[in-house]
Chains A and B, each alone.
Chain A
């Protein structure tokens, strides 16, 4: 057999298959479950927003505020005692913005944790890393495909939430006060950046945690923790309007003025739409988006670094 050392296997062209765009197929096929979790989340959120707008609470609340502020009617800030639909609408809107702002990144974190953690646990990473594709390319595909899907899904939800806010504002349905509201950040690009950060944190966790289950748990907690920790940071670096009377018509929306001096709480920026001038909206959004993208880049870089350290 030693005299055959000079022959080298030559590529056989017959039997080859077309493989253009197949990296996409591979990632989607392997992570169908994670993809469906995200699709269900996006579809569920979209359906909930449509239901809120056109369902009983939306129509009921619109009826409560019908004609308010016009001659012969009460002003729009004095809500009558029997206005269950109006309060339910406000509560649901709070809840949906909270889901969009806080839970979407956790879902993305789970996706990222499952994406890597499951392959690490099963040993299939080694199957992938010993094929012709380099580990770096493998991770890039693993990040890019879900990254695009997550950004697209959360982008659609943010746009729909904005449309819902416009719709509610036109009908004098927006209230401010009493509870922590996440509107301010749920209807801008930072919501998408949070989701991408969730994915990056999840992927990093997938490498660090041993096993899928722990990767899912840690990724979820880490994604939620990061979004939670940014809240007070954001509130402190931006000027807070202390005179609640100045809170008329902020961010292009006509919200009710704040109910008390909310600037004293760490959530004041979220808590009251009226607490900041409209001119601050884009600076706050863009700085926050940039900050989150830097964090995302750091988490992704750490994941690549871990990968490089594990594979020669």
Chain B
């Protein structure tokens, strides 16, 4: 298996649950290189879960293709871990039995890491984690999340797809889990975490995918995405034909605008580099702006087409 294949690569991906309703995901094309910790961001109902379920091989796309580690989602199954938003577990099992169940379901790969699973479930120190003989039905939402994540860690996957993993964890557990995810990422595991709470992901993620209304709006290294935008504060008029204006609103005596450009326009402008939250919120509020993918986040087919176009232009 070539390591140049992306962790995820989608081209024209679309999914709808019913013919009468609009598509949940439409025309999604992006590339997630390996080894990244990717934040999948978007409002409720944007299609984040659908995208993760497609990647986990639980849904068939209506159109387009999705490759996971260079394979179809079904063939990548044993190398991908998925934690669903609802954290489904068997309530009648104990925590220890649930981990054993995970070992059984992954016995064919020989990769099951019992210690990694137990470390997440039981914690490193006494009183940190769960009791092995606690029944799943007696656990709180956050404790169930811990068990679901323990199964994902035990699988030693190359790609972890986590749907709202932090949502019901207490701050201590959240910090502990983030630490575990970071050490997995250091070993080369690609991680995709969805959330609608942006602050949750800042600091731990280095890659970003923003989905709203079933379409991909932003994609790329967080550094590159923020660097491609400029926050302008001033009093002059903006020429919308020269740069893409994401958002413009009055602030004080002048106005603040987020533009997709690194050039500072003529006039009296204070140019700042926006933080990721400012970029995301502006894109969440203004969904009509054209999508933006950095080079790393563009599917290979798109990259190839762009290279061909550039060569044509040069000729």
Complex formed: what's the CA distance from A133 to B74 in Å?
Answer: 11
User: Which segment of B110-118, B127-135, B236-244 sits at the interface?
Assistant: B110-118
In the complex, how many angstroms separate the beta carbon of A167 from the nearest chain B beta carbon? Answer: 42
Q: Chain B residues near A14 (CB, 8 Å)? A: 115
B158 touches A8 (CB 8 A): yes
> Does A124 make an interface contact (CB < 8 A)?
yes
18 A-B pairs (CB sep. < 8 Å): A5-B188, A8-B158, A9-B111, A9-B157, A11-B156, A12-B116, A17-B103, A26-B104, A30-B90, A122-B91, A123-B88, A127-B151, A128-B105, A130-B56, A130-B82, A132-B78, A133-B105, A134-B77
A126 touches B108 (CB 8 A): no
Q: Mark B5-26, 1 if CB is under 8 A from A, else 0.
A: 0000000000000000000000
Complex formed: what's the CA distance from A17 to B99 in Å?
Answer: 11
A17 touches B185 (CB 8 A): no
- Choose among A11, A16, A32, A130 the residue that contacts B77 (Cβ–Cβ < 8 A): A130
- Choose among B58, B110, B151 the residue that contacts A11 (Cβ–Cβ < 8 A): B110
In the complex, how many angstroms separate the beta carbon of A44 from the nearest chain B beta carbon? Answer: 24
Q: Mark A1-45, 1 if CB is under 8 A from B, else 0.
A: 110111111011011110100110110011010000000000000
A5 touches B77 (CB 8 A): no
Complex formed: what's the CA distance from A17 to B112 in Å?
Answer: 8
B189 touches A9 (CB 8 A): yes
In the complex, how many angstroms separate the beta carbon of A291 from the nearest chain B beta carbon? Answer: 35
| Interface size in chain A (residues, C-beta < 8 A) | 37
Q: Mark B297-312, 1 if CB is under 8 A from A, else 0.
A: 0000000000000000
Supposing A1-B206, A123-B84, A129-B57 touch, asked if A12 and B113 sit within 8 A by C-beta, the answer is yes
Complex formed: what's the CA distance from A49 to B89 in Å?
Answer: 41
User: Which segment of B29-37, B261-269, B286-294 sits at the interface?
Assistant: B29-37
Q: Mark A104-141, 1 if CB is under 8 A from B, else 0.
A: 00000000000000000011101111111110001000
A15 touches B113 (CB 8 A): yes
> Does A78 make an interface contact (CB < 8 A)?
no
B105 touches A1 (CB 8 A): no
Q: Chain B residues near A122 (CB, 8 Å)? A: 88, 90-91
> Does A279 make an interface contact (CB < 8 A)?
no
> Does B313 make an interface contact (CB < 8 A)?
no
Supposing A123-B86, A127-B88 touch, asked if A4 and B188 sit within 8 A by C-beta, the answer is yes
In the complex, how many angstroms separate the beta carbon of A301 from the nearest chain B beta carbon? Answer: 20
Q: Chain B residues near A133 (CB, 8 Å)? A: 105-108
> Does B80 make an interface contact (CB < 8 A)?
yes
Supposing A1-B186, A8-B3 touch, asked if A126 and B158 sit within 8 A by C-beta, the answer is no
6 closest Cβ pairs, A-B complex: A123-B88, A131-B105, A132-B78, A19-B107, A5-B35, A15-B115
Q: Chain B residues near A8 (CB, 8 Å)? A: 3, 158, 188
Q: Mark A186-230, 1 if CB is under 8 A from B, else 0.
A: 000000000000000000000000000000000000000000000
> Does B59 make an interface contact (CB < 8 A)?
yes
Q: Chain A residues near B88 (CB, 8 Å)? A: 122-124, 126-127
Q: Chain A residues near B108 (CB, 8 Å)? A: 132-133
Tell me whether chain B's interface is mostly helix, strand or loop, or mixed: loop
- Choose among A23, A130, A138 the residue that contacts B81 (Cβ–Cβ < 8 A): A130
> Does A312 make an interface contact (CB < 8 A)?
yes
Complex formed: what's the CA distance from A153 to B58 in Å?
Answer: 36
> Does A70 make an interface contact (CB < 8 A)?
no
Interface centre among A22, A30, A122, A312 (most CB of B within 10 A): A312
Complex formed: what's the CA distance from A123 to B186 in Å?
Answer: 32
> Does A311 make an interface contact (CB < 8 A)?
yes
> Does B228 make an interface contact (CB < 8 A)?
no
B114 touches A15 (CB 8 A): yes
Complex formed: what's the CA distance from A98 to B301 in Å?
Answer: 66
Q: Mark A144-158, 1 if CB is under 8 A from B, else 0.
A: 000000000000000
Supposing A17-B112, A26-B104 touch, asked if A5 and B93 sit within 8 A by C-beta, the answer is no
In the complex, how many angstroms separate the beta carbon of B91 from the nearest chain A beta carbon? Answer: 8
A17 touches B35 (CB 8 A): no
Complex formed: what's the CA distance from A136 to B89 in Å?
Answer: 20
Q: Chain A residues near B33 (CB, 8 Å)? A: 2, 5
Interface centre among A5, A30, A123 (most CB of B within 10 A): A5
Complex formed: what's the CA distance from A1 to B187 in Å?
Answer: 10
Q: Chain B residues near A29 (CB, 8 Å)? A: 93, 97, 101
B98's closest neighbor in chain A, by CB?
A127
A4 touches B35 (CB 8 A): yes
In the complex, how many angstroms separate the beta carbon of A102 from the nearest chain B beta carbon? Answer: 30
Q: Chain B residues near A15 (CB, 8 Å)? A: 113-116
B82 touches A132 (CB 8 A): no
Q: Chain A residues near B34 (CB, 8 Å)? A: 5
Complex formed: what's the CA distance from A312 to B105 in Å?
Answer: 18
> Does B92 make an interface contact (CB < 8 A)?
yes
